[in-house]
Amino acid sequence: MTADMAGPDPRHHGQLFIGGEFQDPHSELRLEVTEAATGATIARVADADREDVDRAVLAAQVALPGWAATAPGPRAAHLARLADGIRDKAEEFAQTISREVGTPIRQSRAVQVGNPIAITSHVAELLPEYRFEEEIGNCLVVKEPVGVVGAITPWNYPLQQVMAKVAAALAAGSTVVLKASEVAPLTALMLAELAEAQGLPAGVLNIVVGRGASAGEALVIHPKVDKVSFTGSTRAGMRISELAAATVKPVTMELGGKSASLVLEDADLATAAKFAVYNAFLNSGQTCTALTRLLVPAARADEAVEVAVATARKLVPGDPMDESTRLGPLASAAQLERVRGYIERGKADGARLVIGGVEPPPGLERGYFVQPTVFDQVGPEMEIAQEEIFGPVLSVIAYDSEEQAVEIANGTPYGLAAAVWSGDRDRAIAFARRLRAGTVEVNGGAFSTQAPFGGVKRSGHGREFGRFGMEEFLVPKSLQL
Q: What is the pLDDT of residues 56-86, one digit of tens each?
A: 999 999 999 999 999 999 999 999 999 999 9
pLDDT at 6 (0 to 100):
79
HEC profile of 294-313: EEEEHHHHHHHHHHHHHHHH
pLDDT band at 50 (very low <50, low <70, confident <90, very high): very high
| Residue 32: strand pairing partners | 44
Which pLDDT tens digit goes with each residue over 316-325? 999 999 999 9
DSSP class of residue 26 equals: S
Going from the N-terminus, what domains does the chain have, and what CATH number goes with each?
10-255+458-480 (3.40.605.10), 260-448 (3.40.309.10)
Residues 6+ apart with CB under 8 A from 445: none
Please report which confidence band the pLDDT of residue 137 belongs to, taking 50, 70 and 90 as the band edges.
very high
What pLDDT digit, counting tens, does each position of 195-242 carry? 999 999 999 999 999 999 999 999 999 999 999 999 999 999 999 999
Is 471 a catalytic site residue? no
Rounded average pLDDT over 30-35: 97
- Is 387 known to be catalytic? no
114: pLDDT strictly greater than 90: yes
CA-only gyration radius of the chain, Å: 22
The reported pLDDT for the residue numbered 5 is 65
Q: Which residues pair with 356 in a beta bridge?
A: none
The strand order across the sheet containing 139-145 reads 133-136, 139-145, 474-480
- Computed over every residue of the chain, the mean pLDDT equals 97
DSSP assignment letter at 137? T
Q: What's the burial of 71, exposed, middle or buried (CB within 10 Å: 0-12/13-18/19+)? A: exposed
Q: What is the DSSP string of 197-237?
A: HTTPPTTSEEEEE--IIIIIHHHHH-TT--EEEEES-HHHH
Quick: pLDDT tens for 352-375.
999 999 999 999 999 999 999 999
CA 128 to chain centroid: 27
Catalytic residue among 254, 388, 441, 471: 254
Instruction: Judge whether residue 1 has pLDDT over 70.
Output: no
Contact 72, 126 (CB under 8 A): no
The structure's pTM equals: 0.96
Q: Where does residue 102 fall: left (phi above 0), alpha (psi -120 to 50 degrees), or beta otherwise?
A: left
What's the pLDDT band for 2 if we cut at 50, 70, 90? very low
* Residue 3 reports pLDDT greater than 50: no
DSSP string across 49-103: -HHHHHHHHHHHHHHHHHHHHS-HHHHHHHHHHHHHHHHHTHHHHHHHHHHHH--
pLDDT digits (tens, 9 = 90+) for 422-471: 999 999 999 999 999 999 999 999 999 999 999 999 999 999 999 999 99
Residue 244 has pLDDT above 90, yes or no: yes
The catalytically annotated residue of 288, 441, 471, 472 is 288
The residue-averaged pLDDT of 170-193 equals 98
Please report the DSSP string for 317-372 in residue order: B--TTSTT-SB---S-HHHHHHHHHHHHHHHHTTPEEEE--SSPPTT--SSS----
